[in-house]
Structure 1
Amino acid sequence: MVPFVPVLICPVLTEHWRVDAMLMSFEGKINRLILIDNGNSEWSPRTTKAVDMFVWKMPQNLGVAASWNLGIKATPFASGWMIVNHDVQFGEGATERFWADCRPDNIVLGGKPNWSCVWIGSEVVAKVGLFHEGFHPAYFEDTDYEVRAQRAGVEIISSTAAINHRNSSTLASSEQFQQLNQRTFQANMELFNERLNKPWEELVEWDLQRRRDLSWG
């Protein structure tokens, strides 16, 4: 069965052409495709696989956590969200294999390292909340969320789908980013360790059910 993903979220900062390559390798359809251009480029994506496509150009880099959260907040009635790194490639049959494990109550991790392609069900977000935007611009936002989800009793599945990830493409594209990351990585690690000492219930910062209940449409 051809996958029909409710929402696919993909932020990109550099090397925007990799998004087009990722979408070309994606074997399925997407109801709402959300592309967050944190590089504010002139790039226009090329794909016919989405029913609706939204390309949001940011004046400055939102960072990973804030970008993922924006996509989730903008589509609160989805059954879940597929979040994909811009430098991912889906092998033959990988989209269907990954999608087969996805449910509203679980997390599915694909690619190496994990979190280069992930599914987060709506019931998970309702329970655990959003990603913590204090992790900026990248690193530890995914590990923090996974720890919180584990503590909340959420099922986390490691997919065997052939999803290939060119690790750290954004860092590799810029020597300046590599230098800046030395400082921000350390700061994010310190924040992660600080949050480890808190109960997961105290770290829920957004209420999906309240957002749905108070919606005007």
Structure 2
Amino acid sequence: MTGRQQIKVIAVVLNWRDTDATMQCLDSLLREKLLASVVLVDNESSGELRSAVSDRVQLVENPENLGFAKGVNSGIHKAMTLGADAVFVINNDATVREGALEKLIKAWVSTEEPVLLAPRVVNLDGTDQSTGGYFRAVDASTRDLGNKYVNYLTWACVLLPVATIKILGLLDERFFMYWEDVDYGLRASKAGVRMRLVDDAHVEHERSKSHSRAGAKIEGYSAAGLTLLCLKRGGVALFVGLPYRLIGRLLTRLGSPGRVRSIARGFLAGCRAFRGKAAPSA
């Protein structure tokens, strides 16, 4: 893409029972002059976010918790119907530092090839979080390689040009939460879509209260997502990496029967999800 005239970027923010963090994220987004508008997606909506609706803020209320992939997809769909050229997906517990979006847009418009872009994601104290990395099939793990080669970007914050979405489609809604971003990155790599880290664009990310409230269920969600990812990948990831990773998790949690049950249930959920529908198109 070249040029910056009439570029329409719309943000998508997913909320689940964390109104305070979402409002802080929204405040930081609305200070970005290059952002046309924001689509707030409220999973298991209580109606608390209705007061945020304005000429720059659209609200999508879901009566149940659709999970990350399906919830974000509904926001991306809305942004595209509003005429977005690019969709800026950001976690509700993240805030944009001044100028970050402009730097992402500059990096995008200077790139002729299909691309996904992510800023540098930092903790509140300025230390780095993982922005992306490399999925290693042999032990079904991810490695943070800094600015070196990556085959996925974390979706704590990512800029998705609509042209790229039309190539790759949307997140695979068989993932409830966790590993959907790795799956999307691997699909992008296979399709020849470049992933670019824009190191001088910064976003602060703090773990949300809703994440903490999920408790031991997180073990199950993660196991389900990893199982589905490895079933999709097949080969070494399925027959070596997945057993290695899940057996290792189980062995380190033998003293916590609830977590063991959660991992086992997650594995079965991932197997059931694999038999479901494939990733939706844009």
SS at match of 1:178: coil
**TM-score scaled to structure 1, two decimals?**
0.79
SS at match of 1:163: strand
Residues in 2 aligned to 1:46 and 1:94: alpha-carbon distance in whole angstroms = 27
User: Is contact 2:69–2:173 with CA below 8 Å preserved after alignment?
Assistant: yes
**TM-score scaled to structure 2, two decimals?**
0.63
Residues in 1 aligned to 2:278 and 2:9: alpha-carbon distance in whole angstroms = 24
Give unmatched runs, 5+ long, in structure 2: 122-128, 132-154, 236-276
Deviation at 1:206, TM superposition (A): 3.9
Q: How many residues align?
A: 198
Instruction: Give 1:90's aligned residue.
Output: 96
Q: Write out aligned runs for 1:78-157 (5 A).
A: 78-103=84-109, 105-110=114-119, 111=121, 112-114=129-131, 115-136=155-176, 138-157=177-196
Instruction: Give 1:64's aligned residue.
Output: 68
Residues in 2 aligned to 1:80 and 1:32: alpha-carbon distance in whole angstroms = 11
Residues in 1 aligned to 2:98 and 2:36: alpha-carbon distance in whole angstroms = 21
Identity rate, percent? 22
SS at match of 2:46: coil
User: Is contact 1:80–1:120 with CA below 8 Å preserved after alignment?
Assistant: yes
Deviation at 1:45, TM superposition (A): 6.2
Q: CA RMSD in A?
A: 2.7
Instruction: Give 1:181's aligned residue.
Output: 218
- Letter aligned with residue 73 of structure 1: H
Residues in 1 aligned to 2:130 and 2:208: alpha-carbon distance in whole angstroms = 10
Q: Write out aligned runs for 1:30-45 (5 A).
A: 30-44=35-49
User: Is contact 1:7–1:81 with CA below 8 Å preserved after alignment?
Assistant: yes
- What do the CA deviations read for 1:159-209 (whole angstroms, capped 9, x no partner)? 22121111354222x1xx1211211211110000111239xxxx974444x
Distance change in 2, residues 1:147/1:12 (3 Å):
same
Instruction: Out of 120-129 and 186-195, give the one that drifted further.
Output: 120-129
2:24 pairs with 1:21: yes
SS at match of 1:162: strand
SS at match of 1:187: helix
Give unmatched runs, 5+ long, in structure 1: 209-217
- What do the CA deviations read for 1:14-64 (whole angstroms, capped 9, x no partner)? 22111221122234243232101113123236669x744221221111111
User: Is contact 2:174–2:278 with CA below 8 Å preserved after alignment?
Assistant: no
Deviation at 1:151, TM superposition (A): 1.1
Distance change in 2, residues 1:184/1:68 (3 Å):
same
Task: Please identify the structure whose Cα radius of gyration is greater.
Answer: 2
Residues in 1 aligned to 2:107 and 2:181: alpha-carbon distance in whole angstroms = 19
User: Is contact 2:32–2:98 with CA below 8 Å preserved after alignment?
Assistant: no
- Letter aligned with residue 59 of structure 2: V
Distance change in 2, residues 1:140/1:98 (3 Å):
same
Residues in 1 aligned to 2:69 and 2:187: alpha-carbon distance in whole angstroms = 15
Distance change in 2, residues 1:52/1:93 (3 Å):
closer
Residues in 1 aligned to 2:85 and 2:56: alpha-carbon distance in whole angstroms = 16
Instruction: Give 1:196's aligned residue.
Output: 233
Distance change in 2, residues 1:65/1:122 (3 Å):
same
Residues in 2 aligned to 1:191 and 1:145: alpha-carbon distance in whole angstroms = 13
Deviation at 1:153, TM superposition (A): 0.6
Which has a greater percent of helix?
A: 2
Residues in 2 aligned to 1:188 and 1:44: alpha-carbon distance in whole angstroms = 29
User: Is contact 1:18–1:87 with CA below 8 Å preserved after alignment?
Assistant: yes
